[in-house]
Amino acid sequence: MHTETLIQLARDPMSRLRDAVGETVGLAILDKPQLACVVVFWVPGTSGFSFSYKVPYSIPLHCNAPGKAFLAALPAPELKAILGRLRLKRHTGTTLTAKTRLRAALDQIRESGYSIDRAEQVEGCHCIGAAITDGDHYPVAALWTTGPCDMMPEEKFAEIGALVAGAAAEISRHLAAPTGRRCSYHADIVKQAKVYMDENVHKPLDMQQVAAHLKIGYSWFRRLFTKETGKSPNSYHMDLRIAKAMEMLRSTHTPIKEIAAQLGYENQYYFSNIFRKKTGFTPTGYRN
The domain spanning residue 239 has which CATH number? 1.10.10.60
Please check whether residue 163 lies inside any domain of the structure.
Answer: yes
Same domain, 149 and 226: no
Same domain, 53 and 164: yes
Same domain, 54 and 138: yes
Same domain, 94 and 39: yes
First and final C-alpha spacing in the chain: 44
Same domain, 131 and 9: yes
14 burial (CB, 10 Å; 0-12 / 13-18 / 19+) is buried
Please check whether residue 143 lies inside any domain of the structure.
Answer: yes
* Per-residue model confidence as pLDDT tens for the chain (288 residues): 367 778 888 989 999 999 999 999 999 998 888 888 999 999 988 887 777 777 788 899 999 999 999 999 998 888 999 999 999 999 999 999 999 999 999 999 999 999 999 999 999 999 999 999 987 788 989 999 999 998 899 999 999 999 999 999 999 988 776 555 556 777 888 999 999 999 999 999 999 888 878 877 777 788 889 988 999 999 999 999 999 999 999 999 999 999 999 999 989 999 999 999 999 999 999 998
Helix 2-21 and helix 180-199, axial crossing angle in degrees, nearest 10: 140
> Rounded to 5 degrees, what are φ and ψ at 151?
-90, -20
Same domain, 26 and 89: yes
Q: 145 lies in which domain range?
A: 2-176
DSSP for 191-236 reads HHHHHHHHHTTTS---HHHHHHHHTS-HHHHHHHHHHHHSS-HHHH
Same domain, 208 and 129: no
> Rounded to 5 degrees, what are φ and ψ at 228?
-80, -25
Same domain, 126 and 26: yes
- Which of 114, 145, 176 is at the close of a domain? 176
